[in-house]
Structure 1
Amino acid sequence: MITLYPFRMRPIFRNYPWGGRRLGSVLGKPIGEGPHFAESWEIVDHGDAQSVVANGALAGKTLSQVVAEHGEQLLGIRYAQAEFPLLYKFLDAQRTLSVQVHPHDDMAAQLTPPDMGKTEAWYVLAAEPDSLVYAGLKPGTDRDTLARAIAQGVCEDYLHAIPVTAGDCVFLPAGTVHAIGGGLLVAEIQQASDTTFRLYDWNFIGADGQPRELHVEQGLAATDFTTGPVALQTPVPTDRSHVVRLVECDKFVWDRWTFDKPVELQTGGGCHIISVLAGELSVEGDPAAQSAGLGQTWLIPASVEAVTLTPRGPVVMLDAYLPD
């Protein structure tokens, strides 16, 4: 039986008109030619979208194969999962994304084909001056008001806009209307779902002279009109001085680590997704052996139990994992 180890995965790139080239120029991703590299999917097991192991004895295996063949070692206390339940990605938004909403689990399960719901969180890696995110609706916005605003092309009048800078974090439970503003480079942790209902596209006309398809009725049905405006997350201290809690919900936990000396990550019976935001880091047990910097992501299996993280200078790192 193969003993699992910290995985690095080959990124999967998505090209959309709102993307740019910072996935390569800032995060060092091998994006190739072209102006619109929008997303780098770092960890994913969702249908045909499959992370592939890049290091060690399981190199070339998809994440789906690893779950099927080594699920108990990988997922530990969450072994009942048939698929890897989280998706981690980077997004380069050169212009503002469409206004979207994602369904909760029960609604997504009724779709054809069925999917997970999509609760997500964003961490801002870089922001141009005056960058915004749109998160939630202004107070008093109900279904009829939002439907009318969409039809009249003035949806932005009812969106809650938040100025953001590097280091800010936004939590978006399923059902929250949202959009990433232009000028942002963002890390995102989410449920492993790709179901998006596009409510509004800023009256954008594509290269074919046509607007993109909207999903207004489905989006309105998925929207939670009770949540109102969303606030930025306030980092919460933990019992470890180098770790603060960014998000804790029933789908995932997301922490930020800041350290300049070797530290130990204990998996606590579950797997972890760790990602470098600043500095360089080497991970004990990584067959690639060398340290890696900004944008590098590892999947730490539950069976590893504890792993030493050794920085080269000060390191900032995100750590996402499933709740108990």
Structure 2
Amino acid sequence: MIPPYPLVFKPLLKQTIWGGRLLGERLGKSIGDDTNYAESWEIVDHGQDQSVVESGPLAGKSLHELLTHHRRWLVGGKDASPSNALANDNVLESDGIQSNRFPLLLKYLDCNRVLSVQVHPSDDYGLKMSVPDRGKTEAWFVVDAKPDSVIYAGLKEGVTASELRQAIHAGQTEQVLHQFHPTPGDCVFIPAGTVHAIGAGVLIAEIQQASNTTFRLFDWDRTDADGNSRPLHIEESFDVIDFAGGPVKPIHFDPSLADWQTLVECDKFRLRAVQNANVLVGDDDQFHILTVPQGTASLNTKRQSIEMTTGTSLLLPAAHDEVELQVGSDSIVLEMS
């Protein structure tokens, strides 16, 4: 058996029309000269999108390979734990074989321009799609936000399917969306079925189910250089929207708490944050994802000390013993399991 050690992966960078340059300038990612770097996929096992271990005995191995050949070592054996939900995962691949993928995806998003208004399906709906996939429940941690930036999260109270459809056809979708001005440290929980969009000027860390299924309701009438619009998925969206969900309000991180603060806990994942504290993590038979959206932190194991700089992410396998995290007053660490 390979001795357990913290796994660091090479990020996968995605470029889209709404991206910018903050992934490099703020988070230290290796970007080129373009101005449309939108996402850095830190930890992922989804089809061709694969995180690859950078160093140590498992260097060059993909996350999917680790799950296939070292499953218990990587994810543990507590089938009831949200982080081990893959033990009961019945999501099918396109060839009809039961999924055997790592259940969570961590990414950073540089929202230099407003994202489309969209919604994600549940697991049940995902099973029925022509190319089956997991549903997508997610949570955002706001790393930075311009003063006039906006987050759209949920529909306004009482908005009906008919009213939403009328607003979309009139090009007035924004008027039926709940919205607020985010501040750094805000957390936003977006269950499957929640209509949402991230406005321009927001840098976020996102934890989500390992899915890449998005239904667009409205794309602000944008076109590409050739005058083409991105496709919309109106009917699919209406199939999955939770009209009873209502507005989604931000959860505020309290940096004065000298311990882990749970921001989100659902049946898909748990998201915690800590600032200005020495805390422990691990030795509980489940994996833990750690990332540093701001500042630096020291991760101390029995064998080594790892300095985590801004934008660094790693995966602590379930077989790892307990580790200590030293987090400074101007630094933040997020933990996901």
User: Residue 268 in 1 paired to residue 251 in 2?
Assistant: no
- The TM-score with structure 1 as length reference comes to 0.93
- Which residue, out of 274, 277, 280, partners 1:257? 274
Whether the aligned pair in 1 keeps the contact of 2:327 and 2:333 (CA below 8 Å) is: no
- Which residue, out of 125, 146, 153, partners 2:143? 125
State the AA in 2 paired with 1:254.
Answer: L
2:324 and 2:315 map into 1 onto residues whose CA distance is 14
2:17 and 2:157 map into 1 onto residues whose CA distance is 32
* Residues 288 and 59 of structure 1: CA distance in aligned 2, closer, same or farther (over 3 Å): farther
Q: Select between 38-47 and 131-140 the one with higher mean Cα deviation.
A: 131-140
Give the aligned partner of residue 132 of structure 2: 114
Give the aligned partner of residue 2 of structure 2: 2
* Residues 107 and 304 of structure 1: CA distance in aligned 2, closer, same or farther (over 3 Å): same
Give the aligned partner of residue 68 of structure 2: 68
Matches within 5 A, 1:130-145: 130-145=148-163
Give the aligned partner of residue 284 of structure 1: 300
* Residues 50 and 235 of structure 1: CA distance in aligned 2, closer, same or farther (over 3 Å): same
Whether the aligned pair in 2 keeps the contact of 1:107 and 1:222 (CA below 8 Å) is: yes
Give the aligned partner of residue 317 of structure 1: 333
Shift of 1:189: 0.3
Give the aligned partner of residue 46 of structure 1: 46
Give the aligned partner of residue 32 of structure 1: 32
Whether the aligned pair in 1 keeps the contact of 2:297 and 2:307 (CA below 8 Å) is: yes
User: Residue 196 in 1 paired to residue 207 in 2?
Assistant: no
Percent of residue pairs bearing the same amino acid type: 46
2:198 and 2:2 map into 1 onto residues whose CA distance is 41
- Which residue, out of 208, 222, 232, partners 1:214? 232
- The TM-score with structure 2 as length reference comes to 0.90
Shift of 1:31: 1.3
| Deviation string, structure 1 residues 114-139 (Cα, Å, up to 9, x no partner) | 11000000010011111110000012
2:228 and 2:117 map into 1 onto residues whose CA distance is 17
Give the aligned partner of residue 166 of structure 2: 148
2:45 and 2:302 map into 1 onto residues whose CA distance is 21
Q: Select between 270-279 and 309-318 the one with higher mean Cα deviation.
A: 309-318
Shift of 1:235: 4.6
Backbone CA RMSD of aligned residues: 1.9
How many residues are treated as equivalent by the alignment?
A: 318
Give the aligned partner of residue 14 of structure 1: 14
Whether the aligned pair in 2 keeps the contact of 1:6 and 1:283 (CA below 8 Å) is: no
Whether the aligned pair in 2 keeps the contact of 1:280 and 1:313 (CA below 8 Å) is: no
Give the aligned partner of residue 231 of structure 1: 249
* Residues 203 and 266 of structure 1: CA distance in aligned 2, closer, same or farther (over 3 Å): same
State the AA in 2 paired with 1:257.
Answer: V
Whether the aligned pair in 1 keeps the contact of 2:301 and 2:322 (CA below 8 Å) is: no
Q: Select between 144-153 and 165-174 the one with higher mean Cα deviation.
A: 144-153
- Which residue, out of 221, 243, 265, partners 1:248? 265
Give the aligned partner of residue 94 of structure 2: none
1:301 and 1:260 map into 2 onto residues whose CA distance is 23
* Residues 18 and 41 of structure 1: CA distance in aligned 2, closer, same or farther (over 3 Å): same
1:231 and 1:139 map into 2 onto residues whose CA distance is 12
| Deviation string, structure 1 residues 201-256 (Cα, Å, up to 9, x no partner) | 0111221112211000001111010111111124589xx84111110111111001
State the AA in 1 paired with 2:276.
Answer: F
1:131 and 1:267 map into 2 onto residues whose CA distance is 40
1:58 and 1:32 map into 2 onto residues whose CA distance is 28
1:73 and 1:230 map into 2 onto residues whose CA distance is 37
Structure 1 unaligned spans of 5+: none
1:260 and 1:139 map into 2 onto residues whose CA distance is 39
Give the aligned partner of residue 164 of structure 1: 182
